[in-house]
Amino acid sequence: MQLTDGQRLDWLRLIRSEGVGPRTFRTLINRFGGAGAALEALPTLTGRSGRRITPPSRAEAEDEIAAAARLGARLVALGEGDYPKLLQAADSAPPLIAIRGEAAILNRPAIAIVGSRNASAAGLAFTERLARGLGEAGLVVVSGLARGIDARAHRAALEPGTAAVLAGGQDRIYPANHAALVEAILEAGGAVLAEMPMGWEPRGRDFPRRNRIISGLAYGTVVVEAARRSGSLITARFALEQGREVFAVPGSPLDPRAEGTNDLIRQGATLVAEVAHVTKAIAPLLEEGTRKQGGGFEQGADTLALDRPDLAEGSIF
């Protein structure tokens, strides 16, 4: 499936409308048969707040596409060939995602590595060993570009290819001093993804939201170090809900950075102490290939997928 330029513009206007998240987008598309028809109907609908939903103008959407293009980012729609297949199989997959770099690597088997920003030296060293080994095993390493574990994972997997998922827009890299890392990822043939619009500064709630994309891109998520109630545990929860593998690296019970990972292992996550613990666990999945591939909305999908309500920015029905 490939959207026309006009359809892409409609999709963008619809998903950028206030109160429309992936779930509402899907509901509207299913109800009206397409983004164009949904946009036409939008003025007659009210959201939960009682306010009318006004989509951004055609010009505003064109501006976003142009701004993305200037940065080398393309807006890829769910169902299109370049849309990551594993992500597409996940609930609440973003209808449109801005991709910089080599979209093709997003359809190679991937593993997410996430963890503390405030990582220990041992945690960083193990991350490096793990990311390098997974890369050598032919896996793409996905992470969130954060300080600490994430950045180390990306750096160690530059050569085989790594993918970073941003919480803000493509032009709002966070933390800002990781702009050079983004360039290194792109130069090495990796990819950088963003669900949020150009110019969007990431807020706190955008990070957990972003984490479902990290886990959704991968056969499994490895949590290297995580305190209790940390964002990495949210990524692990998403992985579990998406039916993906959850891996955790153990640590001393006296180290608060291991509390979250040790908890995960007690809850059934696979303990990872070496690269083979990951590769062996996902080998059967790789043979199986992408088990489930969602179709595009515009091709007449008439089933209403059950998305996560807590991820929609607000439902209008």
Applying CB under 8 A, which residues contact its own copies? 122-123, 125-126, 249-255, 258-259, 262-263, 265-266, 270-274, 277
Q: Say how far apart CA 23 and CA 312 lie, in whole Å.
A: 6
Q: Say how far apart CA 233 and CA 235 lie, in whole Å.
A: 5
Shortest separation between residue 160's beta carbon and its own copies, angstroms: 21
Q: Say how far apart CA 23 and CA 288 lie, in whole Å.
A: 28
Q: Which helix (H) or strand (E) holds 143?
A: strand 140-143
Shortest separation between residue 268's beta carbon and its own copies, angstroms: 11
Q: Are 245 and 282 in contact (CB under 8 A)?
A: yes
Between CA 149 and CA 189, with CA 194 as vertex, the angle to 5 degrees is 70
In sequence order, what are the beta bridge partners of 248?
Answer: 223, 271
By beta-carbon proximity to its own copies, the closer residue of 144 and 251 is 251
Q: Say how far apart CA 123 and CA 302 lie, in whole Å.
A: 46
Shortest separation between residue 248's beta carbon and its own copies, angstroms: 9
By beta-carbon proximity to its own copies, the closer residue of 2 and 267 is 267
Shortest separation between residue 115's beta carbon and its own copies, angstroms: 13
By beta-carbon proximity to its own copies, the closer residue of 101 and 135 is 135
By beta-carbon proximity to its own copies, the closer residue of 216 and 251 is 251
Shortest separation between residue 265's beta carbon and its own copies, angstroms: 5
Q: Which helix (H) or strand (E) holds 97?
A: strand 96-101
Q: Say how far apart CA 71 and CA 268 lie, in whole Å.
A: 42
Shortest separation between residue 306's beta carbon and its own copies, angstroms: 33
Shortest separation between residue 244's beta carbon and its own copies, angstroms: 19
Give 307's Cβ-side CA count (13 Å radius). Answer: 24
Between CA 297 and CA 290, with CA 20 as vertex, the angle to 5 degrees is 40
Q: Say how far apart CA 224 and CA 124 lie, in whole Å.
A: 9
By beta-carbon proximity to its own copies, the closer residue of 42 and 119 is 119
By beta-carbon proximity to its own copies, the closer residue of 171 and 263 is 263
By beta-carbon proximity to its own copies, the closer residue of 11 and 126 is 126
If DSSP codes are grouped into helix, strand and coil, which group holds residue 122? helix
